[in-house]
């Protein structure tokens, strides 16, 4: 599909992040499997990948369609469930929220079905911050770097907690540092995540100010940014020191992870990061939630899809979610769903009237674009259980049930780089009053943790949620290390344990674990000016 690049037979590999770790399947019972790392070597397999084997035969796996009656889900047949869906939709339009992190063939088939399905519109769902970041990266024209290629870089800028988003990308950084100990590693992360611990230069950045910090680093590195709305470098000493280090690099690797609830400026950050990397002879490594979201973004240019913000703003149509936990991803802001198809229960299935079974990502094979530049044909680990459809098969059954003409051949997939527009001014919501609540990523979970949260290790190893607080803030609040407390925002609260963190900036508190509950403290909203879904930093209250 790329034309100039070879299609790689990748075997079975994890598609929950761009690393694409090999999955070695071990059958341990008649209907149970486990996923193991390779026997020799050290290819890596993070907790998300290790969990996938257990999920294949998880005790909560959804095998049968169910319809909510008197508040309880009752098992029905697939035909009855689809008939109930079509009947409930009536003459209203239908918006299909479809998981964007699926192989290209699944996306193309879904588009073809929705085109033939009268009144249906397709929305490819990916993390809103990831989408903005990728649009900016595409517009920048920067090269994309796979994990292995990062080892050839002689300097790194890490934005957000890229090491938690894709643990394997850290290996290349460390390999380079082992060869050349003076390799600059610049961390721009207001929550002081994993990468900040290994950085030679930590840019002191306020909540939601990553764009300004990156602009200051780029300016100090002598890069002509040419982007409207870029602030002056100012007197951010840490950024200037980082910029001087970056200026010495001949091949700069910029690792990007768009963190939830940080900023509305991820598009500008993606663009600026790409310009900075290109100016220093390097490239971008975008650590997205899901390996194939960039391909989905490129495909959507040729598909008839609608924006997530427009889909959420349309309250007259009924909503059907296929493979994605829209409600959990948006912090509970997804609204009502008529039907939700998923392999395991999530917040969207909990809100839906009709629940449908669906294949797991590891049960679906097809073409995946890893790291924005490596097109690979991924094989499923196992076939889906009998009666459990793949996402495209499910849409293929829904559409004829509505009575249209059968869909034609799948839509053409084009993975050529998008001709995205240069982003405009960065929307600024202004700094929130202290303390500002930020969210950090967990390497154990993909996205909001809807899928991997079912893993027994994830549940067993999970202790109380730690709320990281700076020493000065802890003293001002009158809380001590390990003290129990509650953190509240937007009318909701969760119990936490205070963890005093010397490295954290004053005025910022960080909730590093428990993304499924945590996102509810800062739900997404639709930005009326840009028509984008954003989650901005919120003011938190600490109750002891």
Partner 1 sequence: MSEAMEKRVLVDLDRCIECGSCAAACYYSHANMPAVSFARAGWALLPMICRQCKAAACVDACPAEAMVRDEFGVVRRGLLRCIGCGSCARACPFGVIPNELGGTPVGCRSPEGLTGHQVAKCDLCEDRTASNPDAVPRCVAACPSGALQFADERAAEELHLQVVGGRSTADHLFKRR
Catalog residues that contact partner 1 under the rule CB under 8 A. 19, 21, 34-47, 50-51, 53-54, 163-164, 167-168, 170-171, 174-175, 194, 197-200, 443-444, 455-463, 501-503
Q: Which is nearer to partner 1, 131 or 445 (CB)?
A: 445
Q: How far apart are CA 165 and CA 18, in angstroms?
A: 9
What torsion do the CA atoms of 216, 221, 227, 232 make, to the nearest 10 degrees? 30
Closest CB to partner 1 among 35 and 76? 35
Distance CA 188, CA 212 (A): 10
Least spacing, CB of residue 237 vs partner 1, in Å: 18
- CA dihedral in degrees (469, 470, 476, 479; nearest 10)? 40
466-470 and 492-501: which strand pairing?
parallel
Distance of closest approach, residue 475 Cβ to partner 1, in angstroms = 17
For residue 461, the minimal CB distance to partner 1 (Å) is 5
At residue 354, the 3 state secondary structure works out as: strand
Nearer to partner 1, 65 or 455 (CB): 455
Helix 237-247 / helix 210-220 crossing angle, nearest 10 deg: 50
Buried b vs exposed e over 8-47: b needs ≥16 C-beta within 10 Å? eebebbbbbbbbbbbbbeeeeeeeebbbebeeeeeebbbb
Put residue 358 in one of left, alpha, beta given phi > 0 → left and psi -120 to 50 → alpha: beta
Taking the complex as a whole, how short is the minimal distance between the CB of residue 145 and partner 1, in angstroms? Answer: 17
Length of the chain: 544
Q: How far is the CB of 235 from partner 1 (least distance, A)?
A: 25
Query: Which lies closer to partner 1 via its Cβ, residue 201 or residue 319?
Result: 201
Residue that has been written with the tokens 């989650």 in this structure: 535
Nearest to partner 1 of 142, 496 (CB atom): 496
CA dihedral 282, 288, 290, 295 (to 10 degrees): -60
- Shortest Å distance, C-beta 329 to partner 1: 22
**Cβ–Cβ under 8 Å, residues 163 and 195:** yes
The CB-of-390 to partner 1 minimum distance in angstroms stands at 25
Q: Which is nearer to partner 1, 326 or 515 (CB)?
A: 515
Closer of 36 and 105 to partner 1 (Cβ): 36
- Which helix (H) or strand (E) covers residue 366, if one does? strand 366-370
Q: Report in angstroms how near the CB of residue 18 gets to partner 1 at its nearest.
A: 12
Instruction: Say how far apart CA 392 and CA 408 lie, in whole Å.
Output: 13
Contacts of 449 (CB under 8 A, 6+ apart): 328, 442, 458, 514, 515, 516
Distances (CA, A) of 337 to 95, 107, 320, 351, 496: 10, 21, 6, 6, 31
The half-sphere exposure of 161 on its side-chain side, counting CA atoms within 13 A, is 21
- Work out how close the CB of 38 gets to partner 1 at its nearest, in angstroms, rounded to a whole number: 6
For residues 92 and 462, which CB has a smaller minimum distance to partner 1 in the complex?
A: 462
CB of 51 to partner 1, least distance (A): 7
Residue closer to partner 1 by CB (options 36, 490) is 36
Q: Cα separation of 374 and 5, whole Å?
A: 8
Tell me whether residue 263 or residue 442 sits nearer to partner 1 (CB atom). Answer: 442
């Amino acid at each position: 599909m790329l034309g100039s690049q070879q299609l790689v037979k990748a075997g079975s590999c994890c598609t929950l992040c761009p690393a694409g770790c090999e999955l070695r399947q071990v059958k341990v019972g008649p209907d149970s499997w486990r996923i193991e790392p390779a026997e020799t070597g050290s290819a890596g397999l993070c907790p998300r990948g290790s969990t996938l084997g257990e999920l294949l035969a998880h005790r909560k796996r959804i095998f049968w369609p169910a319809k909510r009656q008197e508040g309880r889900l009752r098992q029905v047949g697939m035909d009855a469930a689809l008939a109930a869906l079509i009947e409930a939709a009536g003459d209203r339009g239908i918006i299909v929220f479809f998981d964007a992190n699926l192989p290209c063939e699944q996306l193309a088939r879904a588009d073809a079905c929705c085109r033939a399905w009268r009144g249906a519109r397709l929305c490819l769902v990916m993390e809103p911050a990831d989408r903005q970041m990728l649009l900016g990266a595409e517009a920048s024209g920067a090269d994309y770097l796979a994990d292995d290629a990062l080892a050839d870089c002689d300097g790194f800028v890490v934005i957000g907690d890229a090491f938690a988003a894709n643990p394997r990308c850290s290996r290349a950084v460390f390999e380079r540092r082992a060869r050349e100990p003076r390799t600059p590693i610049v961390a721009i992360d207001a929550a002081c995540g994993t990468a900040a611990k290994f950085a030679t230069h930590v840019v002191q950045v306020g909540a939601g100010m990553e764009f300004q910090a990156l602009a200051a680093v780029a300016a100090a590195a002598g890069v002509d940014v040419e982007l409207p709305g870029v602030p002056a470098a100012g007197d951010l000493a840490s950024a200037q020191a980082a910029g001087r280090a970056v200026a010495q690099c001949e091949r700069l690797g910029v690792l990007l992870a768009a963190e939830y609830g940080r900023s509305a400026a991820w598009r500008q950050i993606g663009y600026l990061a790409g310009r900075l990397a290109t100016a220093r002879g390097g490239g971008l490594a975008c650590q997205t939630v899901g390996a194939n979201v960039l391909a989905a973004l490129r495909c959507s240019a040729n598909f008839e899809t609608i924006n997530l913000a427009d889909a959420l703003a349309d309250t007259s149509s009924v909503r059907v979610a296929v493979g994605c936990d829209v409600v959990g991803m948006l912090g509970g802001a997804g609204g009502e769903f008529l039907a939700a198809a998923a392999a395991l229960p999530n917040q969207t299935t909990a809100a839906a009237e009709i629940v449908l079974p669906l294949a797991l990502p590891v049960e679906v094979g097809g073409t995946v674009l890893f790291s924005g530049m490596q097109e690979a044909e991924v094989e499923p680990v196992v076939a889906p259980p009998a009666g459990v459809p793949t996402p495209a098969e499910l849409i293929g059954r829904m559409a004829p049930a509505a009575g249209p003409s059968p869909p034609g051949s799948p839509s053409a997939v084009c993975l050529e780089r998008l001709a995205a527009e240069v982003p405009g001014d960065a929307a600024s919501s202004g700094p929130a009053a202290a303390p500002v609540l930020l969210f950090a990523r967990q390497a154990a979970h993909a996205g909001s943790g809807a899928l991997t949260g079912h893993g027994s290790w994830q549940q067993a190893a999970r202790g109380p949620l730690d709320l990281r607080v700076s020493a000065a803030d802890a003293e001002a609040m009158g809380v001590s290390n390990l003290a129990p407390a509650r953190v509240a925002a937007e009318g909701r609260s969760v119990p936490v344990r205070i963890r005093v963190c010397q490295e954290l900036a004053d005025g910022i508190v960080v909730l590093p674990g428990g993304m499924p509950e945590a996102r509810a403290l800062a739900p997404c909203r639709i930005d009326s000016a840009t028509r984008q879904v954003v989650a901005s930093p919120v003011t938190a209250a600490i109750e002891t």
